[in-house]
Structure 1
Amino acid sequence: MLAVVGVVVLATIGVGVYGLVRGPGHTATSRPASTETGTQGSTGTGSSGGSGGTVAGPAPAMLPKTDNPVTYARAVAGALFDWSTTTGYAPSDYSAPVLADADPSGEEIAGLIGDVASYEPTTAEWTQLATMKVIEHLTITSAKVPSLWPEALAQARGQLRAGTTAITITGTLHRTGVWYGQPASTTDPVSFTIFEACSPSWPDCHTLRLSQLNDPLG
């Protein structure tokens, strides 16, 4: 029901059909940063010099139990984008908390699995990034309900799950690593929308779907 209503709502207000409607899929623009870290010569914290020693990195995040949509969305964003190829974890390890704490009804799980997968590096990409000891981190500059969301709710006429909301995240994606033995870094703008449901549907917030990367609800 949520997905069907989403088609009508999002198409009607002219913002495209995505997020609650369909997963973003794997496209050439699904990831904002090249695997060739540092080819632009930008500066940053980087990793250790020389051939690159052991580089610290984040472990998979734990999502908070909260009924605050913005707090929860920020945590989900961190779980999706804060990772390291130097820790022994795989991309699925970092995204696992998002899926484990997703829609308790199970109605949106299949779609969310596809959404999350499109945000992750593929196995081949991860292997290549690991040779460069790449660490990724998202600096969030804005996390707020998009301006079109109230209109979407009005057009849904109460058919969306109670407590459903959208939080659009904008920020800067930082990658540091080692490129031909030298510390290197890249930065890229990133934006996306997290659709979630909180109280009164459930005591705490849970992720329903994700928009296409860099194609958020405005």
Structure 2
Amino acid sequence: MDPTAPADDRRRRRVLIALIAAGLVLALLVSVGIYGLLRGPAPRTEPAPTGTAAPTITAPPTGTSPAGPAPVSQLGGPETFARQVAQALFGWDTTNGYGPADYAQVIVDVAAGEEADALAGDVRAYLPGAEAWAQLRQHQTRQWLSIQEMFVPEAWETATSQAAPGQIPEGAVAYTIEGTRHRDGTWGTEPVEASRPIVFTVFIVCAPVVTNRGITGTHCELLRLSQLDNPLR
């Protein structure tokens, strides 16, 4: 968050997090299915595959698994920002010398200031832990995301319409993203790939970029992530 932003703006953003993450105005949040979703995903660990059967192989699209963690641009509008966050969250490669902390950092770098610590916990739950990463590296595993659908969930629209003035800051929005998580690597000497559908919600806030020439665009920050496969609808 911009430290020079007016104090009222910073307070309104903190109210949003309190409203959703801490459970204030609980009756409203329960009624629209938001309560609890922003407490952060439950830890998920995915060890390397075991056994003798290997999944079907298909080649990954060019450019879907970057050489290293790519910075997330905070410009370009809320939908573009949310898509970049999603791609950064699911796009990683165990073979390039980077680790989970490196991939997490590019997402935490675009966090709203007061939410950075909580968001870091959300992100860690989406990424393999150090032990799982080491096992996945032995299989030269890469991961990427293809997005099929992205929309503002009705539960968010209901919450914003029922919230009292000032409870949710202008520019805050939630996007639920449906897609397919792909992984490829090696099984012994054979190349393999596995994929599965995923869905999750990102919560962001965007504000106009104002210069001496007027409003020139928007600047976005990431608030929180829902649990994987437990999105707002």
TM-score (norm 2): 0.79
Give the 5 Å matches for 1:147-158.
Answer: 147-158=154-165
Asked if 1:178 corresponds to 2:178, the answer is no
The match for 1:161 is 169
Secondary structure at 1:41's aligned position in 2?
A: coil
Query: Which residue does 1:97 correspond to in 2?
Result: 106
SS of alignment partner, residue 154 of structure 2:
coil
Verify: 1:86 aligned to 2:95, yes or no.
Answer: yes
**Aligned alpha-carbon RMSD (Å):** 2.2
TM-fit CA distance, 1:16: 4.5
What letter is aligned with 1:4? A
**1:140–1:172 contact (8 Å) kept in structure 2:** yes
Larger Rg: 2
Identity among equivalent pairs (%): 37
**CA apart distance, 1:201:** 9.5
Give the counterpart letter for 1:36 in structure 2: P
Bigger relative CO (Cα 8 Å, ≥ 6 apart): 1
Per-residue CA deviation, residues 74-93 of structure 1 (Å, 9 max, x unaligned), is: 10011111110000000111
Deviation by residue 1:164-202 (Cα, 9 ceiling, x = unmatched): 100111100110000122111101111110000002599
Q: Provide the secondary structure at the position in 1 that maps to 2:195.
A: strand
Equivalent of 2:125, from 107, 110, 118?
118
Structure 1, unaligned runs of 5 or more:
47-55
Count of aligned positions: 201
Is the Cα contact below 8 Å between 2:33 and 2:232 reproduced in 1?
no
Provide the C-alpha distance between the structure 2 equivalents of 1:125 and 1:90, rounded to a whole number of angstroms.
Answer: 11
Distance 1:5 1:126 in 2: 35
Q: Which amino acid aligns with 1:101?
A: V
Distance 2:142 2:160 in 1: 38
SS of residue paired to 2:219: coil
How far 1:61 moved relative to its partner? 1.4
Inter-partner Cα distance in structure 2 for 1:179 and 1:40: 7
Distance 1:156 1:172 in 2: 33
Equivalent-residue separation in structure 2 for 1:57 and 1:150 (angstroms): 34
Check the 8 A contact 1:85/1:126 in 2, yes or no: yes
Aligned to 2:5: none
1:71 aligns with 2:80: yes
Contact 2:74 2:221 in 1 (8 A): no
Q: Which has the higher strand share?
A: 2
Residue 214 (1) aligns with residue 233 (2): no
Displacement of 1:15 after TM fit?
A: 4.6
Cα 1:57/1:100, change in 2 over 3 Å: closer
CA distance in 2, matches of 1:197, 1:101: 11
> What are the ranges of 5 or more consecutive residues in structure 2 without an aligned counterpart?
1-14, 211-217
- What is the SS of the residue equivalent to 2:102? helix
Instruction: Rate the CA distance shift 1:215–1:201 in 2: closer, same or farther, 3 A.
Output: farther
Q: Partner letter of residue 135 of structure 1?
A: R
